[in-house]
Amino acid sequence: MKLVVVDVTELAPPEPMTVIITALARLPADHCLLVTHRRQPFPLYEKLHQAAWAYHCQVHDEDNISLFIYRQIDQLLFEQHFDGEVFNPL
């Protein structure tokens, strides 16, 4: 599983949601989107679930999270490649 990285830390709402949704629409099969964000995008989580996406969030500190988004069918693949690893791109 390969990572595609987007950084939305400097964007004002609703731009992060737009960037993430656009990146997911273009995400190749067997890839994972790694989003660097300054907070958890709680409104996004329900949309992801409804659209058959899964996610894993790592909170590094108050203003720095890594959000992994991948297809629900790739859960095992994600766990084999990334589960337990800590990513802090800053």
Alpha helices in the chain (DSSP H): 15-25, 42-50, 75-81
48 lies in some domain: yes
86 lies in some domain: no
pLDDT at 83: 65
SS3 8: coil
Over range 65-78, report the average pLDDT: 94
Give the CATH number of the domain where residue 40 resides.
Answer: 3.30.110
Give the domain extent around 15. Answer: 2-81
87 lies in some domain: no
How many structural domains comprise the chain?
1
pLDDT at 49: 94
36 lies in some domain: yes
Residue for token pair 């959000």 = 67
Closest CA to 66 of 2, 5, 1: 5
Q: CB count, 10 Å around CB of 24?
A: 20
pLDDT in tens, 17-63: 999 999 999 999 999 999 999 999 999 999 999 999 999 999 999 89
Q: In residues, how long is the chain?
A: 90
72 lies in some domain: yes
* 12-16, 34-38, 70-74, 84-88: segment of lowest average pLDDT: 84-88
